[in-house]
């Protein structure tokens, strides 16, 4: 009755499909001269917090402590603009994985949820099938890998498999993956799970360049792509209607020197319909209704299909069919005995022609 009528507007209401937002922000490099990677991550953290995602829904992983590094002439600060205009460290930063805890294993466990029971809640990604997740990685990378902590690497295949695990466990609704490293586009080449959108700061064979050299601190403060991304995000407010197509235009080649890339073929919606705040912010949707709901009657869910909807939604996807059930191609080999016989024939002909005395050359 009444409940049945409400379903229709709710479908429009939840047109984006997600009900909560998470962010996983990772800086993978340590050492003082990699100051800019920590500053990159903290700039995205700042924007994401400003647009509404709370600390409880952000997993921030910083591989080194730049603010309290002995070489920092301004202790307890991390600047993103030269001449110390903007301190992205602030006074309410909550780092979840710090220093040596930022490893490939911990990162993959956070994504897939396979953490030991003793892990505190702040270190877990507690997303569900209605979560939009923003994943931001920065550090030193190459063609097909990203370096963690100067001692290990994560490859693009591992990352794609991790996302597939997340998909199979329904740990995300939609996922935006941003990477700012050298040759960053190679990291999203191998994705095959649905509902992934990816952006990278440079193509394969290109280096992402640093920006903002600061003489007082003595290091580069930011990377170009994230610097212009931060400038773009500073203009976004929670009710902004800017969409992903605007995000793709951030940092053209004239500003970035490298060519940023993106990938949208696995994303099921039109990127133009995906708002920036769908991933970077946590927008609480409020709709004022003039109709009354009778709370004395128990509410029965009229159509059970709503639960099945989630599964049938998935089954509709032709993508998973094609990708998961592709038969493995086996190369054709000639039968084993054939090769042996061929070689025996060759040897016999050789010895017949040149005589047996040449055998001693072999032995």
Least separation in angstroms between residue 218's CB and another protein is 5
Distance between CA atoms of residues 326 and 301, nearest Å: 39
- Residue 213 lies near another protein (rule: CB under 8 A): yes
Least separation in angstroms between residue 343's CB and another protein is 27
Residue choice 4, 216, 293, 349 for contact with another protein (CB under 8 A): 216
Residue choice 1, 8, 70, 241 for contact with another protein (CB under 8 A): 70
Of 24, 56, 319, nearest to 162 by C-alpha is 24
Least separation in angstroms between residue 286's CB and another protein is 48
Residue 306 CA: distances (Å) to CA of 12, 13, 75, 277, 311: 15, 15, 54, 26, 9
Among this protein's residues, is 140 annotated catalytic?
A: yes
Say if strands 131-138 and 20-27 run parallel, antiparallel, or are unpaired.
parallel
Least separation in angstroms between residue 171's CB and another protein is 38
Which 27-46 residues touch another protein, going by CB under 8 A? Answer: 31-33
Q: Which is nearer to another protein, 82 or 124 (CB)?
A: 82
- Residue 341 lies near another protein (rule: CB under 8 A): no
Q: Is the alpha carbon torsion for 58, 38, 111, 229 positive or negative?
A: positive
Residues in CB range of 11: below 8 A, 6 or more apart:
none
The DSSP code for 176 is: E
CA angle (123 as vertex; 120, 126 as ends), nearest 5: 95
- Residue 218 lies near another protein (rule: CB under 8 A): yes
Among this protein's residues, is 262 annotated catalytic?
A: no
The DSSP code for 64 is: S
Q: Kindly indicate which of the ranges 69-77, 141-149, 236-244, 295-303 contains the residues binding another protein, using the contact rule CB under 8 A.
A: 69-77
Q: Which is nearer to another protein, 132 or 210 (CB)?
A: 210
Q: Which is nearer to another protein, 71 or 308 (CB)?
A: 71
- Cβ pair 181, 206 in contact under 8 A: no
The one catalytic residue in 37, 81, 182, 220 is 182
Tokens representing residue 179 in the block: 């990477």
Residue choice 27, 137, 219, 236 for contact with another protein (CB under 8 A): 219
Please provide the DSSP assignment of 68-81 as one string: T-TT-SSTT--BSS
Q: Which is nearer to another protein, 214 or 246 (CB)?
A: 214
Which 261-320 residues touch another protein, going by CB under 8 A? Answer: none
- Residue 69 lies near another protein (rule: CB under 8 A): yes
- E strands, 78-202, where? 97-98, 131-138, 140-142, 145-148, 152-155, 174-180, 196-200
Residue 71-110 contact track with another protein, rule CB under 8 A, x = bound: xxx-x-----------------------------------
Please provide the DSSP assignment of 104-135 as one string: HHHHHHHHHT---TT--GGG-----TTEEEEE
Least separation in angstroms between residue 33's CB and another protein is 5
Q: Which is nearer to another protein, 71 or 253 (CB)?
A: 71
Distance between CA atoms of residues 106 and 112, nearest Å: 10
By annotation, the residues acting in catalysis are 140, 182
Instruction: List residues near another protein by CB under 8 A.
Output: 31-33, 68-73, 75, 213-216, 218-220
């Amino acid at each position: 009755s009444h409940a049945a009528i409400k379903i229709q507007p709710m479908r429009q209401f939840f047109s984006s499909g997600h009900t909560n937002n998470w962010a996983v922000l990772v800086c993978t490099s340590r050492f003082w001269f990699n100051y800019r990677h920590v500053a990159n991550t903290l700039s995205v953290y700042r924007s994401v917090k400003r647009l509404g995602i709370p600390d409880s829904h952000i997993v921030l992983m910083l591989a080194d402590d730049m603010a309290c590094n002995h070489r920092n002439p301004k202790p307890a600060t991390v600047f993103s603009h030269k001449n110390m205009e903007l301190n992205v460290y602030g006074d309410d930063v909550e780092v979840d994985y710090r220093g040596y805890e930022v490893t490939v294993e911990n990162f993959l466990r956070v994504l897939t949820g396979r953490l030991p029971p003793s892990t505190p809640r702040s270190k877990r990604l507690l997303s569900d099938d209605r979560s939009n997740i923003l994943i931001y990685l920065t550090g030193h990378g190459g063609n097909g890998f990203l370096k963690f902590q100067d001692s290990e690497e994560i490859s693009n295949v591992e990352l794609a498999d991790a996302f597939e695990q997340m998909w199979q466990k329904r740990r995300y609704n939609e996922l935006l993956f941003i990477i700012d490293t050298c040759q960053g586009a190679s990291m999203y080449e191998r994705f095959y799970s649905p509902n992934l959108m990816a952006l990278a700061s440079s193509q394969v064979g290109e280096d992402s360049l640093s920006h903002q050299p600061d003489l007082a601190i003595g290091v580069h403060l930011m990377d170009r792509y994230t610097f212009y991304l931060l400038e773009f995000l500073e203009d976004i407010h929670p009710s902004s209607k800017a969409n992903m197509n605007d995000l793709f235009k951030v940092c053209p080649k004239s500003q970035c020197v490298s060519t940023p890339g993106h990938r949208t073929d696995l994303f099921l919606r039109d990127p133009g319909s995906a708002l920036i705040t769908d991933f970077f912010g946590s927008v609480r949707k409020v709709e004022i209704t003039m109709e009354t709901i009778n709370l004395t009657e128990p509410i029965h869910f009229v159509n059970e299909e709503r639960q099945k909807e989630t599964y049938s939604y998935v089954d509709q996807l032709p993508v998973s069919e094609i990708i998961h059930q592709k038969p493995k191609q086996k190369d054709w080999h000639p039968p084993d005995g054939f090769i042996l016989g061929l070689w025996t024939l060759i040897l016999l002909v050789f010895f017949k022609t040149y005589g047996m005395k040449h055998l001693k050359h072999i032995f």
